[in-house]
Amino acid sequence: MEKVASALLKKVATYNISAVEIVKKAYLYAYEKHKNQFRESGEAYITHPLAVANILADLHADTATICAGLLHDTLEDTKTSEEELLNTFGPEITSLVKGVTNITNMDFYDKTTLNQVNLRKLLLSMNKDVRIIIIKLADRIHNMRTLEYKKDLRKQQLKSQETIKIFAPIAEHLGLYQTKLELEDLSFMFLAPEDYKQIKESHAKIEQEFRIYQEEVEEKISKVLQDNYIFSTIKFRIKNKYGVYKNIMNGETLENIHDFLIFTIILDNVDNCYLALKYIHELYKPNSRYFKDYIAQPKQNHYESLHTTVFGPEDKLMQMQIRTPEMEQMAKYGITYYWHQLDNAKDIMQEAFNKQYPLMQSIILANRNARSYADFIQIVESDVLGEKIPIYNNKGELIEITNGATPIDYAYLNYSNVANHLAAVIVNGVAVNFDYTIQPYDKIRIITDINALGPDESWLEIAKTATAKQKIKEYLRRNTQRLTRSPW
């Protein structure tokens, strides 16, 4: 334990030397509180909060967050009182520990009132302090890494389902892609072990086969850029296993997955990103179907990059992700990018999250629309954290909508004040029916008419999102009451 704790302190010292003493104090306090406690693996319990703190330190978390990571189980699993924690570590650290404690032992698939309350607390807590969910994500990563030691197979499945449905999507919304990918793969391993094993073997085989071409591709790209006075750093990785599994479930073969092989090309400025795109397309023929410009139109979690898929050696599909060092930092650290840029990032990070990340506004809207805890869970699962596709609104802005949504869903999710007056829908310049399934990168425009008949029972069948269904039901209920009300 001393070696692991020492490594943590050294890691923290590399970016925040002033935090070392209080982090050490938090570790020693947690060590004493968890003494004689053990995990299901047989390890001393302190290994868990230490691992959580190390994950947070990798993100350059601030002092209070690291300490809360070390102390996050003290209120629940030891005899520590909130008053004692407050007197020892102050209000900020105590508030974070309390926030994480309030959402401990949440089981999303157990629809008890307690668990519904816990989920609501988890998501709404981000409005006050996004660091609470970041600590919880670190906690979940380590729990998933050690899930094999949980002997109850049903609990393994429930924990994995909760992770892949709730925590991995939250990580993506926060721009924490590495966290998302790891949580997905760890969950996949327990949810579908045979599929996981098969894809893991194929994954490793294709990666090994491509290694003979990797150096050639990197050298070619580096040389053509250098010949044009553009200097680059090139990284290579393989698509995560769960991502491959989803592609296969959608009918693709391993050879046809356009982003199975991924090269990240890091350049010093935006102009050189676009120049590099030109030179790469001269080296390798592009598949224009998969070109995305996330620099001109960043994702809603602030991700920026140029994506192009090209035909490489032996016509193998390769994705090139072209971006600047700052974009690479954002792609790696997401919302926690602020910790890398500012000494006291807490307030600025929170303000940016509340105002600039759609996740928080979607959660607030879900909370406002929900008539019960169960409604809230349903809206969050389907509308907030469900799989999304990119589309364009009538202003040409790139937004996201739930995969499988219809124009009725689009209207209620984006124009709820006039959606009941929906009269017509134009997609890519062509009128479509209300039951049309919206496709990626469709441009949607709705037309409303105050004299439109409004929703009827058929709209409930067409709508796919919980928000739209809830709004339609409310309209039908009000309309029924109005029609049956006595004129006297």
Catalytic residues: 76-77
Cβ atoms 162, 107 nearer than 8 A: yes
* 448's tokens: 């409303």
The CA distance from 81 to 75, in Å, is 6
The CA distance from 292 to 306, in Å, is 6
The CA distance from 388 to 301, in Å, is 13
Rounded alpha-carbon distances, angstroms, from residue 210 to 20, 185, 207, 482: 44, 22, 5, 67
> Dihedral of the CA atoms 386, 391, 396, 399 (nearest 10)?
10
**Burial of residue 430 (number of CB atoms within 10 Å: 0-12, 13-18, 19+):** exposed
Question: Which residues are CB-contacts of 246 (< 8 A; sequence separation ≥ 6)?
Answer: none
The CA distance from 437 to 251, in Å, is 19
Give the helix/strand (H/E) hosting 178.
helix 177-191
Judged by phi (left if over 0) then psi (alpha if -120 to 50, else beta), residue 315 lies in left
Q: Which phi and psi angles does 486 have, rounded to 5°?
A: -65, 135
Measured from the Cβ of residue 98, the count of other Cβ atoms closer than 10 Å reads 18
